[in-house]
Amino acid sequence: MTRSGGPGTDDTGAAVPLPERVRRVVSLVPSLTETVAVSAPGLLAGATDWCTHPAGLDVPRVGGTKSPDLGKVAALRPDVVLGNTEENRPGDVEALRASGVPVWMTEIRTVDEALPSLRRMLAGACRAPAPAWLEEAERVWARVAPGAPRAAVVPVWRRPWMVVGRDTFTGDVLSRLGVANVYAGHPERYPKVPLEELNAAGADLVVLPDEPYRFTAADGPESFPGLDAALVDGRHLTWYGPSLVDAPSVLARQLAEARRY
């Protein structure tokens, strides 16, 4: 592959050698897959098994975000592979780079980081112009006003129970909507916390997304009998991509519908 375009710099400060024109992109993160598929149709040459949007996406699959088949990734001859520091393992990134595959890493923990990061990734890694949806997302989030203040626990898994802790994109999204994560000061980003402690944490709300664990009205709220429960769309809560445009309105509605089950 010709790298005549010179290096770009990803979110981690790494120089990524890229061609003047990028033609083949492999994404190892569902949010980034949707971002490229919607913004630069035809560039996406591969994605993970967990990349479910846009609906009907027809590209070769390379395994999971935490366990990609690196041989399959390399065989797709990507001009660049897109990853994220939270979603992908450093060893996989290092192995791809050692084999000569350029990897562009994003690092996103807030909405304010997400919007410019996606803009840089599209321009720098994909050689693509900023799409209209990204500009709309910037306008939408600039107008967001928080709702009535709530204090929440935000589980992402059960058996064992795991919740959103410090410095997460999910926590930042909720805070902008008026929901304070009671575990925002925890030393871990996704701590395991016994259920009895969650119920005694001082929250008045439990936020239950449908991914990565699929909480439903029949699976989750019953564990928090003293709290209102909000069943929310995990893509709008945790993904950074085209879903950012609708996330404030969708989540605000779902949070307002919180109730005792």
Mean pLDDT across the stretch 94-114?
96
Secondary structure, 3-state, the chain: CCCCCCEEECCCCCEEECCCCCCCEEECCHHHHHHHHHHCCCCEEEECCCCCCCCCCCCCECECCCCECHHHHHHCCCCEEEEECCCCCHHHHHHHHHCCCCEEEECCCCHHHHHHHHHHHHHHHCCCCCCHHHHHHHHHHHCCCCCCCEEEECEEECCCCEECCCCCHHHHHHHHCCEEECCCCCCCCCCECCHHHHHCCCCCEEEEECCCCCCECCECHHHCCCCEEEEECHHHHHCCCHHHCCHHHHHHHHHHCCECC
Mean pLDDT across the stretch 136-164?
95
Q: What is the pLDDT of residue 41?
A: 85
- Show the domains of the chain with their CATH numbers: 7-130 (3.40.50.1980), 146-256 (3.40.50.1980)
Summarize pLDDT for 234-255 with one digit per residue, the tens. Answer: 999 999 999 999 999 999 999 9
- Asked whether residue 200 carries a pLDDT value surpassing 90, the answer given is yes
In this prediction, residue 198 has a pLDDT band, given cuts at 50, 70 and 90, of very high
In this prediction, residue 148 has a pLDDT band, given cuts at 50, 70 and 90, of confident
Q: What is the pLDDT of residue 6?
A: 60
- Asked whether residue 1 carries a pLDDT value surpassing 60, the answer given is no
Mean pLDDT across the stretch 215-232?
97
Mean pLDDT across the stretch 125-146?
94
Q: What is the pLDDT of residue 5?
A: 54
Q: What is the pLDDT of residue 147?
A: 84
In this prediction, residue 25 has a pLDDT band, given cuts at 50, 70 and 90, of very high
- Asked whether residue 2 carries a pLDDT value surpassing 90, the answer given is no
Average model confidence (pLDDT) across the chain: 94
Mean pLDDT across the stretch 156-176?
97
Greater pLDDT, 41 or 80: 80
